[in-house]
């Protein structure tokens, strides 16, 4: 299996992918020997020697994996010489001019490490400063009476949506871990979401209520309002129904869900925060409609579509036998947009297994648990993000998807056509009878 490793992958992703490809190479070698069927002759290697060679190869693979895990841990350990905080999403330290990196970037990084909660997370402060010095003043200027222009309005929305993905995944870490900055900076940590959420297309606190208190409780099961299981997940009309339902009904369905679960306080808070956000956007539009459209309304609609496109890609491939397994109802992506620019969001199975795990620990966990992933039939892809995953599923282009599978476990040795057929079985809609029998 020949795969060119994308040069812009994070170092952690390169370590993980190289390790998986070594497993594939070893598995294909063992399978080739097993299937050769050549008769044993005086000049051939006997079966015992073959078995010993296979065991030695497996032992080397194990050592290689342990070395890979040690390298990943070193990247995250502040006192280790190999420690690398994430400072930017676009560049690594090696990409920055040596002198500028040594005299400007690294001193700033050391200061930032005293502000962020985890020393690896300098990037969160970098992004927070970016948004507060670009998106916020741009929005204020647009909204200021007499300052609106169509060019600025369009440019503002385009830039905001370019930032919205990374902001959402920074917010994702914030809501799962009750902040991203040290307690001395709690005033900023607790206030910035309320300033930036409406500018980035979010409603106040709705991401927390829907994602943490709802989605991770239900885990894409039948009671999950963003569940994909009742949809045919390669059908465009089912997808449009899925997006439309979330867009127009989540404001009502989420509070009702909490009420059904006897979580009345959550239901009231979720409903009030959503309605308060709508009222705020409406009042801003009434006061100054043109800039409010570009500053609030367009980001709101575009982000909600994006969230559903992403969630569909994350949970479209659901095992037909064991759909309530986190290993079999979500996927792992090793790609640039998901992991470099979105803080390892590609390790979605790892995230569902432990929603509070630090994002930099996902690759380490994955390699430490790859035997468990393999035995549970987990799916790993490379060089594809969730948006393209959704697009290719709706195009029913399973051969494209199968070419991006990194086979693990029993998948090693399967042909591309066999993998494509396997993937297709995992997009079938679950009937009410299926839901009743297969979800505990």
pLDDT tens digits along 175-204: 999 999 999 999 999 999 999 999 999 999
Q: What distance in Å separates the CA atoms of residue 429 and residue 230, rounded to the nearest whole number?
A: 5
SS3 letters across 396-426: CCHHHHHCCECCCHHHCCCCHHHHHHHHHHC
Percent of the chain topping pLDDT 70: 92
DSSP-derived secondary structure letter, 261: T
Residue 59 has pLDDT above 70, yes or no: no
pLDDT tens digits along 67-76: 999 999 999 9
pLDDT tens digits along 80-111: 999 999 999 999 988 999 999 999 999 999 99
What are the two backbone dihedrals, phi and then psi, of residue 104, each rounded to the nearest 5 degrees?
Answer: -125, -60
What pLDDT was estimated at residue 61? 59
Which residues make beta-bridge pairs with 382?
A: 334
Residues 279-300, buried b or exposed e (16+ Cβ, 10 A)?
eebeebbeebeebbbbbbbbbb
What are the two backbone dihedrals, phi and then psi, of residue 405, each rounded to the nearest 5 degrees?
Answer: -75, 135
Which among 163, 168, 171, 156 is positioned nearest to 296, based on CA atoms? 156
Q: What distance in Å separates the CA atoms of residue 123 and residue 200, rounded to the nearest whole number?
A: 18
Q: What distance in Å separates the CA atoms of residue 173 and residue 167, rounded to the nearest whole number?
A: 10
Whole-structure pTM value: 0.92
What pLDDT was estimated at residue 62? 72
pLDDT tens digits along 377-405: 999 999 999 999 999 999 999 999 999 99
CB 207 within 8 A of CB 164: no
What pLDDT was estimated at residue 371? 96
What pLDDT was estimated at residue 45? 39
3-state class of 237 per DSSP?
A: helix
Secondary structure element (H or E) that encloses residue 333, with its range: strand 332-334
Q: How confident is the model at residue 63 (pLDDT cuts 50, 70, 90)?
A: confident
pLDDT tens digits along 42-51: 443 344 444 4
Q: What distance in Å separates the CA atoms of residue 31 and residue 379, rounded to the nearest whole number?
A: 20
Greater model confidence, 340 or 33: 340
pLDDT tens digits along 198-238: 999 999 999 999 999 999 999 999 999 999 999 999 999 99
pLDDT tens digits along 289-333: 999 999 999 999 999 999 999 999 999 999 999 999 999 999 999
Residue 38 has pLDDT above 50, yes or no: no
Q: What distance in Å separates the CA atoms of residue 133 and residue 71, rounded to the nearest whole number?
A: 36
Residue 23 has pLDDT above 50, yes or no: yes
Q: What distance in Å separates the CA atoms of residue 389 and residue 239, rounded to the nearest whole number?
A: 13
What pLDDT was estimated at residue 39? 43
Residues 179-201, buried b or exposed e (16+ Cβ, 10 A)?
bbbeeebeebbeebbeebbbbbb
Q: What distance in Å separates the CA atoms of residue 52 and residue 29, rounded to the nearest whole number?
A: 14
Residue 40 has pLDDT above 50, yes or no: no
pLDDT tens digits along 247-301: 999 999 999 999 999 999 999 999 999 999 999 999 999 999 999 999 999 999 9
**Cα→Cα distances 255→20, 218, 223, 272, Å:** 43, 15, 13, 9
What pLDDT was estimated at residue 384? 97
Q: What distance in Å separates the CA atoms of residue 20 and residue 8, rounded to the nearest whole number?
A: 18
Burial of 78 (0-12, 13-18, 19+ CB in 10 A): exposed
DSSP notation for 24-68:
HHHHHHHHHHHH--PPP-TTSPPHHHHHHHHHHHHHHHHHHHHHH
- Average per-residue pLDDT in the chain? 92
């Amino acid at each position: 299996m020949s795969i060119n490793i994308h040069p812009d992958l994070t170092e952690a992703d390169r370590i993980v992918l190289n390790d998986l490809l070594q497993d594939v190479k070893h598995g294909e070698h063992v399978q080739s020997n097993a299937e050769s069927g050549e008769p044993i002759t005086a000049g051939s290697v006997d079966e015992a020697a073959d078995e010993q060679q296979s065991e030695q190869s497996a032992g080397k693979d194990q050592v290689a994996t342990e070395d890979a895990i040690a390298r990943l841990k070193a990247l995250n350990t502040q006192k280790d010489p190999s420690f690398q905080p994430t400072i930017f999403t676009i560049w690594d330290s090696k990409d920055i001019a040596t002198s500028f990196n040594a005299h400007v970037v690294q001193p700033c990084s050391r200061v930032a490490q005293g502000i962020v909660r985890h020393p690896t997370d300098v990037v969160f402060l970098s992004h927070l400063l970016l948004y507060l010095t670009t998106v916020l003043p741009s929005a204020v200027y647009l909204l200021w009476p007499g300052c609106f222009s169509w060019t600025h309005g369009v440019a503002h929305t385009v830039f905001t949506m370019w930032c919205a993905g990374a902001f959402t995944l920074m917010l994702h870490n914030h809501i799962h871990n009750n902040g991203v900055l040290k307690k001395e900076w709690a005033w900023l940590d607790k206030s910035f979401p309320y300033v930036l959420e409406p500018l980035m297309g979010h409603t106040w606190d709705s991401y927390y209520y829907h994602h943490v208190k709802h989605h991770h409780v239900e885990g894409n099961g039948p009671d999950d309002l963003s569940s994909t299981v009742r949809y045919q997940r390669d059908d465009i009309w089912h997808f449009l129904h899925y997006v439309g339902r979330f867009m127009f009904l989540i404001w009502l369905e989420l509070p009702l869900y909490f009420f059904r679960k006897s979580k009345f306080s959550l239901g009231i808070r979720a409903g009030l925060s959503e309605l308060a956000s709508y009222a705020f956007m409406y009042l801003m539009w009434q006061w100054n409609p043109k800039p409010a459209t570009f500053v609030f309304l367009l980001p709101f609609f575009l982000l909600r579509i994006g969230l559903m496109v992403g969630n569909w890609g994350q949970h479209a491939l659901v095992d037909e036998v064991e759909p309530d397994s986190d290993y079999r109802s979500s996927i792992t992506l090793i790609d640039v947009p998901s992991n470099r620019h979105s803080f390892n969001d590609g390790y979605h199975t790892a995230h569902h297994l432990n929603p509070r795990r630090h994002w930099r620990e996902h690759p380490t966990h994955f390699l430490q648990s790859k035997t468990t992933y393999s035995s549970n039939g987990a799916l790993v892809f490379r060089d594809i993000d969730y948006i393209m995953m959704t697009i290719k599923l709706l195009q029913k282009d399973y051969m494209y998807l199968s070419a991006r599978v990194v086979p693990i476990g029993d998948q090693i040795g399967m042909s591309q056509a066999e993998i494509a057929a396997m993937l297709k079985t995992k997009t079938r809609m679950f009937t009410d009878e299926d839901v009743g029998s297969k979800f505990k």
